[in-house]
Chain A
Amino acid sequence: MAENPNITTMPAAEGLQAGSPAEQIDLTRKPRLGETIIQALLFISGAISILTTVFIVYELGKESLTFFTEQNWEQTNRALGNDIDDLDSEIPIGETGFTLREGDWIRIEEEVIQITSMSETFMVVERGAQDTIPENHPRGAEIFRSSNVTIREFFTGTKWNPQIGQFGIWPLLNATLMVAFLAMLVSLPLGLSIAIYLSEYASTRARNIIKPILEVLSGIPTVVYGYFALTFMTPLLKLIFGNSVVEIYNVASAGIVVGILIIPLVSSMSEDALSAVPRSLREAAYGLGSTKLETAIKVVVPAATSGIVAAFIVAISRAIGETMVVALAAGAGPNFTFNPFRPAETMTGHIVRISGGDLSYDSIDYNSIFAIGLFLFFITLTLNVISQRVVRRFREVYE
C-alpha cells in the first residue's frame, strides 16, 4: 500500500473493487529469462555476418601479410664458379639460370649476401648480410635468390610468376579489366534498353512474359555460361574474325559472355529505378507535347539516374568478380596483352587454376592467391560502397 500511494489517494479508485489491495495486479515489467535468451541468440545470428567480414579481412590479410613480408628462397639454377673464402667480395658464378640483378638478396648455404653490382660471370657483393656470418663456400654451391615481394613490385610489375619470383599483378589485373570493359560494352546498352522498353513501352502482357525470361537468364549457373562461351561464342568469333586471329581461349569471348550474364542484373536494377519515377512527371512531359521517346530519355531516365548509375557500378563489380566463365574461356597463364583475341588469365581465373591443383599450405602460390583475393575483395567492396552512396546521395525523393 505504502509503495503505491497514488492508487489509494485517487478519489475515484476508492469506490472501485479493483482498489482493494489483495486483488492488485502487479503491472511492472518482469524479467523473462526465456525472452532474454532468445533475443541473445537472435543477436548472435545477426552478428555472424560481422564475423564473416572480420574473418574475410583477417584471413586474407594474414596470408597476404605473409606474402609481402616473408623471405622465400628459390633456386636460381646457378652455382658458384669457384671456391670462395669469407673475405671475397667478388663472386664468380655459372652462366645458366635466372638473371640476378643489382640489389638482389642471395643465399649461398647459410649465408645471406646482397649484390651491389653485376656482370656476366661474376658479381660484386656485400658479405654476411642480414646478421649472417661470412663463410667459405665450395665451388658448385647453389645460389638461392630471395623472392621478397614488395608492395611496389606487386602493383607495378608486369609479369606474374610466383615460382620464379615475378610478382606483378598487372597481367592479371589487365585481363580482369579487359573482361569487365567488354562485359560493360555488351551489358550496359542492352540492359538499359531492355529496362527502358520494359518500363516505358511494353504492355503488361509483354512485361509478364519478358521479365520471367530475364529471371531465368539470371538464374542459370555461371559454369553453364562458361560452357556457352567455349562451345558457342569462341567458334562464332572465329567465324567472324578468322581462325588465325582468334585463339581458342581468348578474352573477347569471355568478356562478351560475362556481358550477357549480367544483362539481367543491369536491366532489373535499372527498371526498378525507372518504375520508381512517379507518373506525374511523365504526364507533365506529355502535356507539354513530348513524344514517348522524349519523355523517356529527357524526363524519366534523368530522374532515375542515381538508380541506373548504381546498377552500372554493381554490374562492374559483378563482372570483375565473375569466375567460371573466365576460368573456362579466357585461358590459363598470365599474359600481359591488350589484344582481346589472345588468351589472358584474370585474377579470379588465376585463383581457381592455382587452387584447383595440389596446393600446399604456406607455399608461395598459396600465399599469393590470398594477396590477389584481398585485392579483389577491396575492389568489389569499394565499388559496392560507392554504388550505395550514389543511391543515397543523388536520389531524387518524390512524394
Chain B
Amino acid sequence: MNKDIIQDNTHEIKDYQAKLESRHRRGKAWQIVFRASTFTGIIALVILLLNIINSAFGYVAIQDAIPPEDLAVNGIPIESLHEIDLVGILEEHLSAGLIRRLESETPWEERSRDEILTLVITRVVEPTVEDTWSLFDSIFNKDKVLREQQEKFPESRLEFKSWLSADFLVTPQSPEPEFAGVRTAILGSLWTIAITLLFSFPLGVGAAIYLEEYATDTPLNRLIQTNINNLAGVPSIIYGMLGLAVFVRILEPLTSGAIFGAVDPTTANGRTVISAGLTLGLLVLPMIIINAQEAIKAVPNSLRQASYGMGATRWQTVWHHVLPNALPGILTGAILALSRAIGETAPLVVVGASTYITFDPSSPFSKFTTLPIQIWQWTARPQDEFRNIAAAAIIVLLVLLLTLNATAILLRNRYSTRD
C-alpha cells in the first residue's frame, strides 16, 4: 500500500516536471514573440525615417541646355561675371519679348547681381534633372549609377545633390522641382498655427478651468465633459467639412476680410489663413482642454484651501494659485496639441488650401498653403523628382515638430523638479 503511493507520487512528479519544461518552453517562445513585436515597431520607425533620408539625398543626372562654360566671357566663369555681362548673356540668349517682360517686371538696374545670376542659370543654362538615384544607390552602388547615367544620358553630368538645402527653405514654389522651395509653405504653416494658438489656447484653458474649478455635477456640465471626450475622437476630416461649411461659406464676409475692408485682391472667397487656423483651432480644442484639465487636477487641494482660508475669492484662488502651478502642464499639453495641428493635412485640403501659390501670406486673409499640403501635393505627382523634394519637405516638417516636442519636454522637466 505504502509503496503504491510513493510510486504514484514519482509518476506525478515526473509528469509535473515534463509539463513544467513545456510550460517554460512556451514562456520562452512567447517572450521572443513579444520582444519581436516591439522590435518590429522600432524597425518600422527606422525604415520610415531611412526611406525619407534615402530620397532626400543622392546622385542626379543633370542636363544643361547650354553648359555654363560656354557662357564664360573672356575666360571668366559666369559666377564671377559683372552684372552688365550677365545682362548681355540674357539679351543674347532670350527672346526679345521675354526680355521686355522681365524688364517691365523689375528693371535690370534694380535687380541685384545674385538675382540676375539666378535668371541666367534658370533661363539660359536651364539645368534639368534627367534622372535621380537614391542615397543608398549613391553610396553602395556607385558603379551602377555611373553605368546607368552613361547609358541613358551620356551628355549629362552627374552631381551629388542634397534636395534639402538653404535655397530649398527660402525659395517659393515652382513648377520645376529643381527650383522649388518651401518658403510659402513654411510661412503658411506658421500663420495658420499662430491663429490656431490664439483661438484655442484661451478658450481651451478657460473651458478646463470651468470644468475643474467651477462646474458642479449638473447634467449640463456632465454633457459638456462627455461631449469634449467624444469630440476628441472625431476624425479630422470632419472638422475640415465643418470649417468649409461654417468658416469658408457662412462666415465668408468675415474670413475673406471683406467687412474689415482688407480683401486680398488674389482671393475672392473665404479660403484663407484665418479659416484654416480656426478650423485647426476647433480640432485641437478638445485636446487642449483635456490636457489642461489633467494639469489643473494635479494641483494639490491644500493650496486652494489655504487661499480660501485667507479670504481669497474663487477667481483670485484660480488666478494666483491654481493656474501658476498648473501652467507647465498646460503649456506642455498645448504644445503637443500644436504639433498635432502642424501636421494636419486633410482638414486643410477640405477647407481649401491653395494648390499653387508663389507669394508669401501677408495677412490672416491671404490664400495659404502649408507644409503638409505641399508634401501631399508633391508626393501625389508621378515624377521621381517631386518625390525627392517631398522627402526634403518632410525632413523640414519633422525638424519643426521635433523642435516643438523638445520644447515641451524641456518645459516639463524644468518645472517638474519643483515638487
The answer to whether B233 touches A384 (Cβ under 8 A) is yes
Query: Assuming the A-B contacts A42-B210, A224-B48, A373-B241, are A314 and B233 also in contact, with contact meaning beta carbons closer than 8 angstroms in the complex?
Result: yes
Contact A227 B233 (CB under 8 A): no
Contact across chains for B235 and A348 when beta carbons are under 8 A apart = yes
Q: Are B233 and A317 in contact (CB under 8 A)?
A: yes
> Is the Cβ of A49 less than 8 Å from the Cβ of B231?
yes
Between A60, A201, A210, A356, the greatest number of chain B beta carbons within 10 A of the residue's beta carbon is seen for: A356
Cα–Cα, bound, A227→B214 (Å)? 46
Question: A210-B42, A228-B48, A328-B380 known; A291 and B286 CB under 8 Å?
Answer: no
Cα distance, A328 to B34, chains bound together (Å)? 32
- CB of B184 within 8 A of chain A? no
| Structural contact, B52 and A224, CB atoms closer than 8 A | yes
Main secondary structure of the interface of B (DSSP, over half): helix
Residues in B323-376 with C-beta less than 8 Å from chain A: 339, 342-346, 349-350, 352, 355, 372, 375-376
Looking at the complex, which one of B230, B235, B282, B313 makes contact with A385 (CB distance below 8 Å)? B230
Residues of B within 8 A of A (CB): 23-24, 26-27, 30-31, 33-38, 40-42, 44-45, 47-48, 51-52, 55, 202-207, 209-211, 214-215, 221, 223-224, 227-231, 233-238, 240-242, 244-246, 249, 282, 285-286, 289, 313-315, 339, 342-346, 349-350, 352, 355, 372, 375-376, 379-380, 387, 390-391, 394, 397-398, 401, 405
Q: Contact: A219 with B42, CB < 8 Å?
A: no
Q: Are B210 and A45 in contact (CB under 8 A)?
A: yes
Q: Are A63 and B245 in contact (CB under 8 A)?
A: yes
Q: If the complex has contacts A38-B315, A328-B380, are A59 and B242 also in contact, measured as CB distance less than 8 A?
A: yes
20 A-B pairs besides A39-B314, A323-B236 with CB distance below 8 A are A35-B314, A45-B207, A46-B206, A52-B242, A53-B231, A56-B234, A59-B245, A189-B37, A190-B37, A190-B41, A197-B38, A213-B41, A219-B343, A220-B48, A224-B394, A224-B397, A348-B346, A355-B240, A355-B349, A376-B235
Cα(A328)–Cα(B346), bound, Å: 11
Partner of B203, one of A48, A190, A194, A227: A48
Q: Which residues of B contact A73 (CB under 8 A)?
A: none
Interface string of A161-197 (1 = CB under 8 A from B): 0000000000000000000000000000110011011
Interface string of A131-164 (1 = CB under 8 A from B): 0000000000000000000000000000000000
Minimum CB–CB distance for A346 against chain B, Å: 11
A205 within 8 A of B: no
B35 x A46 contact (CB < 8 A): no
Residue total for A at the interface (Cβ-Cβ under 8 A): 85
Known: A46-B207, A224-B397, A328-B380. A348 touches B48 (CB 8 A): no
Q: Is the CB of B235 within 8 A of A322?
A: yes
The smallest C-beta distance from A325 to any residue of chain B, in angstroms, reads 10
Complex CA–CA separation, A196 to B209 (angstroms): 36
Please indicate the chain A residues that have their CB under 8 angstroms from the CB of B342 in the complex: 221
A50 touches B227 (CB 8 A): yes
**Contact of A226 with B376 in the complex, beta carbons under 8 Å:** yes
Is there contact, CB below 8 Å, between A230 and B401? no
Chain B residues lying within 8 Å of A327, measured Cβ to Cβ, are: 346, 376
- Bound-state CA distance A350–B243 (Å) is 18
Flag whether A75 is at the interface (Cβ < 8 A): no
What's the nearest-Cβ distance from chain B to residue A263, in Å?
6
Contact assessment for A48 and B285 in the assembled complex, using a CB-CB cutoff below 8 Å: yes
Which chain A residues border B36 with CB–CB below 8 Å?
193
Shortest Cβ distance from residue B363 to the other chain A in the assembled complex, whole angstroms:
24
